[in-house]
Amino acid sequence: MEIKSVGVIGAGQMGNGIAHVMALAGYDVRLNDVRQEALDQAVALITRNLDRQVSREKISAHERDTALARIKTTLDISAVGETDLVVEAATEREDVKHKIFESLGPHLRPNTILTSNTSSISITRLASRTDRPEKFMGFHFMNPVPVMQLVELIRGIATDQPTYQACLTVVNRLGKTAASAEDFPAFIVNRILIPMINEAVYTLYEGVGNVKSIDMAMKLGANHPMGPLELADFIGLDTCLAIMNVLHDGLADTKYRPCPLLTKYVEAGWLGRKTQRGFYDYRGDEPVPTR
Ligand code: CAA
Protein backbone atom coordinates (compact mmCIF):
# COMPACT_ATOMS: atom_id res chain seq x y z
CA MET A 1 0.00 0.00 0.00
CA GLU A 2 1.27 3.47 -0.86
CA ILE A 3 1.67 5.94 1.98
CA LYS A 4 0.65 9.49 1.04
CA SER A 5 -0.32 11.05 4.33
CA VAL A 6 1.22 10.78 7.77
CA GLY A 7 -0.28 11.60 11.16
CA VAL A 8 2.16 12.58 13.89
CA ILE A 9 0.91 12.47 17.47
CA GLY A 10 2.87 14.64 19.88
CA ALA A 11 4.48 17.91 18.79
CA GLY A 12 7.45 17.78 21.17
CA GLN A 13 11.14 17.32 20.50
CA MET A 14 10.71 14.20 18.34
CA GLY A 15 7.24 14.89 16.89
CA ASN A 16 8.20 18.21 15.35
CA GLY A 17 11.32 16.70 13.77
CA ILE A 18 9.27 13.82 12.34
CA ALA A 19 6.68 16.23 10.90
CA HIS A 20 9.56 18.26 9.42
CA VAL A 21 11.22 15.37 7.54
CA MET A 22 7.92 13.80 6.44
CA ALA A 23 6.71 17.09 4.95
CA LEU A 24 10.04 17.70 3.25
CA ALA A 25 9.81 14.23 1.68
CA GLY A 26 6.41 15.10 0.21
CA TYR A 27 3.97 13.53 2.65
CA ASP A 28 0.86 15.40 3.79
CA VAL A 29 1.25 15.72 7.54
CA ARG A 30 -1.33 16.07 10.29
CA LEU A 31 0.46 17.07 13.47
CA ASN A 32 -1.58 16.51 16.62
CA ASP A 33 -1.07 17.51 20.24
CA VAL A 34 -3.32 18.11 23.24
CA ARG A 35 -2.01 21.67 23.68
CA GLN A 36 -2.33 24.45 21.10
CA GLU A 37 0.78 26.04 22.56
CA ALA A 38 2.81 22.90 21.77
CA LEU A 39 1.54 22.95 18.17
CA ASP A 40 2.40 26.64 17.76
CA GLN A 41 5.88 26.10 19.21
CA ALA A 42 6.42 23.08 16.94
CA VAL A 43 5.52 25.01 13.79
CA ALA A 44 7.83 27.86 14.85
CA LEU A 45 10.67 25.39 15.44
CA ILE A 46 10.09 23.52 12.17
CA THR A 47 10.15 26.90 10.37
CA ARG A 48 13.44 27.81 12.08
CA ASN A 49 15.03 24.45 11.29
CA LEU A 50 13.87 24.61 7.64
CA ASP A 51 15.25 28.16 7.41
CA ARG A 52 18.56 26.84 8.71
CA GLN A 53 18.56 24.21 5.95
CA VAL A 54 17.81 26.92 3.36
CA SER A 55 20.63 29.11 4.63
CA ARG A 56 23.05 26.14 4.45
CA GLU A 57 21.80 25.45 0.91
CA LYS A 58 20.57 21.97 1.83
CA ILE A 59 17.07 22.81 0.47
CA SER A 60 15.60 25.64 -1.60
CA ALA A 61 13.21 28.32 -0.33
CA HIS A 62 10.52 26.74 -2.51
CA GLU A 63 11.04 23.33 -0.85
CA ARG A 64 10.77 24.98 2.57
CA ASP A 65 7.52 26.70 1.62
CA THR A 66 5.90 23.59 0.13
CA ALA A 67 6.98 21.51 3.14
CA LEU A 68 5.44 24.01 5.54
CA ALA A 69 2.22 24.10 3.50
CA ARG A 70 1.95 20.30 3.82
CA ILE A 71 1.80 20.43 7.64
CA LYS A 72 -1.66 20.86 9.16
CA THR A 73 -1.89 21.04 12.91
CA THR A 74 -4.87 19.75 14.87
CA LEU A 75 -6.01 19.32 18.46
CA ASP A 76 -8.49 16.70 17.28
CA ILE A 77 -7.05 13.19 17.24
CA SER A 78 -9.79 11.95 14.90
CA ALA A 79 -8.16 13.95 12.07
CA VAL A 80 -5.07 11.76 12.46
CA GLY A 81 -7.13 8.61 11.91
CA GLU A 82 -7.69 9.58 8.28
CA THR A 83 -4.02 9.27 7.38
CA ASP A 84 -2.21 6.26 5.85
CA LEU A 85 0.52 6.05 8.48
CA VAL A 86 0.43 7.22 12.10
CA VAL A 87 3.63 7.88 14.05
CA GLU A 88 2.96 8.26 17.76
CA ALA A 89 5.63 10.43 19.38
CA ALA A 90 4.00 11.40 22.65
CA THR A 91 5.50 11.28 26.14
CA GLU A 92 7.54 8.16 26.85
CA ARG A 93 4.95 6.65 29.20
CA GLU A 94 3.20 3.43 28.41
CA ASP A 95 -0.16 4.43 29.94
CA VAL A 96 -0.19 7.62 27.85
CA LYS A 97 0.58 5.68 24.68
CA HIS A 98 -2.15 3.09 25.36
CA LYS A 99 -4.68 5.90 25.92
CA ILE A 100 -3.69 7.59 22.65
CA PHE A 101 -4.11 4.40 20.61
CA GLU A 102 -7.41 3.70 22.37
CA SER A 103 -8.83 7.13 21.53
CA LEU A 104 -7.50 6.95 17.97
CA GLY A 105 -8.99 3.46 17.35
CA PRO A 106 -12.56 4.41 16.39
CA HIS A 107 -11.35 7.02 13.88
CA LEU A 108 -8.90 4.83 11.97
CA ARG A 109 -9.25 3.81 8.34
CA PRO A 110 -9.07 0.03 7.88
CA ASN A 111 -5.64 0.15 6.23
CA THR A 112 -3.91 2.75 8.36
CA ILE A 113 -0.54 1.57 9.67
CA LEU A 114 0.13 2.41 13.30
CA THR A 115 3.66 3.03 14.57
CA SER A 116 5.26 4.31 17.70
CA ASN A 117 8.47 6.31 18.01
CA THR A 118 8.95 4.80 21.46
CA SER A 119 12.59 4.56 22.41
CA SER A 120 12.18 1.47 24.57
CA ILE A 121 8.62 0.27 25.27
CA SER A 122 7.53 -3.15 23.94
CA ILE A 123 6.01 -2.84 20.47
CA THR A 124 4.22 -6.16 20.91
CA ARG A 125 2.52 -4.92 24.08
CA LEU A 126 1.49 -1.59 22.53
CA ALA A 127 0.21 -3.42 19.43
CA SER A 128 -1.79 -5.97 21.43
CA ARG A 129 -4.09 -3.25 22.76
CA THR A 130 -5.05 -2.07 19.24
CA ASP A 131 -7.38 -3.66 16.68
CA ARG A 132 -4.48 -4.22 14.25
CA PRO A 133 -1.35 -5.76 15.80
CA GLU A 134 -0.30 -6.99 12.32
CA LYS A 135 -0.27 -3.37 11.10
CA PHE A 136 1.70 -2.04 14.07
CA MET A 137 5.45 -1.34 14.23
CA GLY A 138 8.17 0.58 16.00
CA PHE A 139 9.40 3.56 13.93
CA HIS A 140 12.23 5.00 15.98
CA PHE A 141 13.89 8.23 14.89
CA MET A 142 17.03 9.72 16.43
CA ASN A 143 17.35 13.28 17.68
CA PRO A 144 17.84 15.73 15.93
CA VAL A 145 15.55 14.05 13.39
CA PRO A 146 16.41 16.25 10.38
CA VAL A 147 20.13 15.49 10.81
CA MET A 148 20.41 11.89 12.00
CA GLN A 149 20.65 9.26 9.29
CA LEU A 150 19.19 6.27 11.14
CA VAL A 151 15.67 5.00 11.75
CA GLU A 152 15.20 1.81 13.73
CA LEU A 153 12.33 -0.34 12.45
CA ILE A 154 11.01 -2.73 15.06
CA ARG A 155 8.60 -5.54 14.28
CA GLY A 156 6.28 -6.73 17.01
CA ILE A 157 5.56 -10.43 17.20
CA ALA A 158 2.48 -10.02 14.97
CA THR A 159 3.74 -7.39 12.48
CA ASP A 160 3.20 -8.55 8.90
CA GLN A 161 5.64 -8.18 5.99
CA PRO A 162 3.59 -5.64 3.94
CA THR A 163 3.57 -3.31 6.98
CA TYR A 164 7.33 -3.63 7.40
CA GLN A 165 7.85 -3.07 3.67
CA ALA A 166 5.62 0.03 3.65
CA CYS A 167 7.58 1.55 6.55
CA LEU A 168 10.90 0.69 4.91
CA THR A 169 9.74 2.49 1.76
CA VAL A 170 8.96 5.58 3.85
CA VAL A 171 12.41 5.48 5.48
CA ASN A 172 14.03 5.28 2.04
CA ARG A 173 11.94 8.16 0.72
CA LEU A 174 13.10 10.24 3.70
CA GLY A 175 16.65 9.62 2.48
CA LYS A 176 17.42 7.83 5.72
CA THR A 177 18.70 4.33 6.46
CA ALA A 178 16.78 1.69 8.39
CA ALA A 179 18.22 -0.74 10.92
CA SER A 180 15.92 -3.64 11.77
CA ALA A 181 15.71 -4.48 15.43
CA GLU A 182 13.87 -7.21 17.27
CA ASP A 183 11.35 -6.22 19.90
CA PHE A 184 13.45 -6.45 23.06
CA PRO A 185 13.83 -3.67 25.63
CA ALA A 186 15.30 -0.47 24.15
CA PHE A 187 16.01 -2.18 20.79
CA ILE A 188 19.57 -1.56 19.44
CA VAL A 189 20.64 2.08 19.76
CA ASN A 190 19.33 2.72 23.26
CA ARG A 191 20.32 -0.72 24.54
CA ILE A 192 23.91 0.34 23.91
CA LEU A 193 23.83 4.13 24.16
CA ILE A 194 21.86 4.68 27.37
CA PRO A 195 23.89 2.25 29.55
CA MET A 196 26.98 4.12 28.29
CA ILE A 197 25.42 7.40 29.44
CA ASN A 198 24.43 5.77 32.76
CA GLU A 199 28.04 4.62 33.17
CA ALA A 200 29.22 8.19 32.51
CA VAL A 201 26.90 9.34 35.33
CA TYR A 202 28.42 6.65 37.61
CA THR A 203 31.86 7.93 36.63
CA LEU A 204 30.74 11.38 37.78
CA TYR A 205 28.98 10.01 40.90
CA GLU A 206 32.08 8.11 42.00
CA GLY A 207 34.31 11.13 41.40
CA VAL A 208 36.42 9.53 38.71
CA GLY A 209 36.03 12.71 36.67
CA ASN A 210 34.02 15.90 36.63
CA VAL A 211 31.45 16.82 33.96
CA LYS A 212 33.99 18.61 31.81
CA SER A 213 36.66 15.91 31.92
CA ILE A 214 34.19 13.07 31.26
CA ASP A 215 32.74 14.81 28.21
CA MET A 216 36.12 15.89 26.91
CA ALA A 217 37.49 12.36 27.38
CA MET A 218 34.79 10.80 25.23
CA LYS A 219 34.79 13.56 22.61
CA LEU A 220 38.52 13.59 22.07
CA GLY A 221 39.28 10.04 23.17
CA ALA A 222 36.51 8.18 21.36
CA ASN A 223 35.58 10.73 18.67
CA HIS A 224 31.98 11.08 19.84
CA PRO A 225 30.36 14.28 18.49
CA MET A 226 29.05 15.07 21.99
CA GLY A 227 30.27 13.95 25.40
CA PRO A 228 27.92 11.46 27.16
CA LEU A 229 26.71 14.00 29.75
CA GLU A 230 26.10 16.68 27.14
CA LEU A 231 24.24 14.05 25.13
CA ALA A 232 22.19 13.05 28.20
CA ASP A 233 21.11 16.69 28.57
CA PHE A 234 20.26 16.74 24.87
CA ILE A 235 18.13 13.57 25.06
CA GLY A 236 16.53 14.55 28.40
CA LEU A 237 17.54 13.02 31.74
CA ASP A 238 13.97 11.84 32.38
CA THR A 239 14.06 9.92 29.10
CA CYS A 240 17.47 8.42 29.94
CA LEU A 241 16.16 7.33 33.34
CA ALA A 242 12.96 5.91 31.86
CA ILE A 243 15.00 3.84 29.37
CA MET A 244 17.32 2.53 32.13
CA ASN A 245 14.24 1.47 34.09
CA VAL A 246 12.81 -0.33 31.05
CA LEU A 247 16.13 -2.17 30.62
CA HIS A 248 16.36 -2.97 34.33
CA ASP A 249 12.77 -4.25 34.55
CA GLY A 250 12.66 -5.91 31.13
CA LEU A 251 16.00 -7.73 31.26
CA ALA A 252 16.09 -8.26 35.04
CA ASP A 253 19.84 -7.74 35.18
CA THR A 254 21.44 -5.54 37.85
CA LYS A 255 23.96 -4.25 35.34
CA TYR A 256 21.17 -1.94 34.12
CA ARG A 257 20.50 -0.28 37.49
CA PRO A 258 20.08 3.48 37.03
CA CYS A 259 22.76 5.58 38.71
CA PRO A 260 21.36 7.24 41.87
CA LEU A 261 22.80 10.56 40.68
CA LEU A 262 20.74 10.35 37.48
CA THR A 263 17.64 9.74 39.60
CA LYS A 264 18.53 12.72 41.79
CA TYR A 265 18.85 15.10 38.84
CA VAL A 266 15.46 13.95 37.56
CA GLU A 267 13.92 14.39 41.04
CA ALA A 268 15.29 17.94 41.08
CA GLY A 269 13.56 18.64 37.77
CA TRP A 270 16.99 19.16 36.19
CA LEU A 271 16.11 17.33 33.00
CA GLY A 272 18.72 18.80 30.68
CA ARG A 273 18.34 21.35 27.92
CA LYS A 274 14.57 21.36 27.94
CA THR A 275 14.49 22.67 31.52
CA GLN A 276 17.67 24.73 31.05
CA ARG A 277 19.54 22.70 33.65
CA GLY A 278 20.98 19.21 33.78
CA PHE A 279 24.63 18.22 33.87
CA TYR A 280 25.12 21.71 32.46
CA ASP A 281 23.37 24.96 33.33
CA TYR A 282 22.11 26.54 30.09
CA ARG A 283 20.69 29.74 31.54
CA GLY A 284 23.67 31.91 30.64
CA ASP A 285 25.43 32.53 27.34
CA GLU A 286 27.61 29.42 27.64
CA PRO A 287 26.67 26.06 29.22
CA VAL A 288 28.30 25.77 32.67
CA PRO A 289 28.94 22.31 34.23
CA THR A 290 26.87 21.71 37.39
CA ARG A 291 29.57 19.44 38.88
N1 CAA B 1 17.23 20.72 12.14
C2 CAA B 1 17.90 20.88 10.97
N3 CAA B 1 19.24 20.90 10.90
C4 CAA B 1 19.93 20.80 12.07
C5 CAA B 1 19.30 20.65 13.30
C6 CAA B 1 17.89 20.60 13.30
N7 CAA B 1 17.19 20.40 14.44
N8 CAA B 1 20.25 20.57 14.26
C9 CAA B 1 21.43 20.66 13.65
N10 CAA B 1 21.24 20.80 12.32
C11 CAA B 1 22.27 20.84 11.27
C12 CAA B 1 23.05 22.11 11.23
O13 CAA B 1 22.41 23.06 10.43
C14 CAA B 1 24.36 21.65 10.64
O15 CAA B 1 24.24 21.55 9.23
P16 CAA B 1 25.54 21.61 8.26
O17 CAA B 1 26.27 20.33 8.43
O18 CAA B 1 24.94 21.75 6.90
O19 CAA B 1 26.33 22.80 8.69
C20 CAA B 1 24.54 20.27 11.20
O21 CAA B 1 23.24 19.83 11.58
C22 CAA B 1 25.45 20.25 12.39
O23 CAA B 1 24.93 21.16 13.36
P24 CAA B 1 25.79 22.26 14.13
O25 CAA B 1 26.91 22.75 13.26
O26 CAA B 1 24.85 23.25 14.70
O27 CAA B 1 26.34 21.51 15.39
P28 CAA B 1 27.27 20.26 15.53
O29 CAA B 1 28.23 20.13 14.41
O30 CAA B 1 27.77 20.39 16.91
O31 CAA B 1 26.28 19.02 15.42
C32 CAA B 1 24.73 17.46 16.27
C33 CAA B 1 25.14 18.92 16.20
C34 CAA B 1 24.34 16.97 14.87
C35 CAA B 1 23.53 17.39 17.19
C36 CAA B 1 25.96 16.60 16.79
O37 CAA B 1 26.45 17.18 17.97
C38 CAA B 1 25.62 15.18 17.04
O39 CAA B 1 25.58 14.36 16.13
N40 CAA B 1 25.39 14.82 18.33
C41 CAA B 1 25.01 13.48 18.73
C42 CAA B 1 23.53 13.29 18.50
C43 CAA B 1 23.07 11.93 18.88
O44 CAA B 1 23.81 11.06 19.32
N45 CAA B 1 21.77 11.70 18.70
C46 CAA B 1 21.15 10.46 19.08
C47 CAA B 1 20.55 10.63 20.44
S48 CAA B 1 19.81 9.14 20.94
C49 CAA B 1 18.30 9.16 20.31
O50 CAA B 1 17.84 10.10 19.71
C51 CAA B 1 17.54 7.92 20.58
C52 CAA B 1 16.65 8.02 21.76
O53 CAA B 1 15.59 7.37 21.69
C54 CAA B 1 17.02 8.65 23.01
User: At 25, which amino acid appears?
Assistant: A
Q: Which residues contact 200 (CB under 8 A, 6 or more apart)?
A: 214, 218, 227, 228, 229, 232
- Residue nearest to ligand 1 atom 30, measured at CA: 225
Residues 131-164: tens digit of each pLDDT = 999 999 999 999 999 999 999 999 999 999 999 9
Q: What pLDDT was estimated at residue 41?
A: 97
User: Is 165 labelled as part of a ligand binding site?
Assistant: no
Residues 116-135: tens digit of each pLDDT = 999 989 999 999 999 999 99
Distance CA 175, CA 148 (A): 10
Ligand 1 centre from 118 Cα, in Å?
Answer: 20
- The alpha-helical segments, DSSP class H, found in 77-130 are 94-104, 123-128
**Number of DSSP helices (H) and strands (E) in the chain, helices first:** 11, 10
192 in contact with ligand 1, CB cutoff 6 A: no
Q: Which residues contact 45 (CB under 8 A, 6 or more apart)?
A: 16
Write out residues in the chain with pLDDT < 50, as ranges. none
Ligand 1 centre from 279 Cα, in Å?
Answer: 19
DSSP single-letter state for residue 276: T
Q: What pLDDT was estimated at residue 1?
A: 76
By annotation, the residues acting in catalysis are: 119, 140, 152, 190
Distance CA 50, CA 73 (A): 17
Residues in the chain: 291
231 in contact with ligand 1, CB cutoff 6 A: yes
53 in contact with ligand 1, CB cutoff 6 A: yes
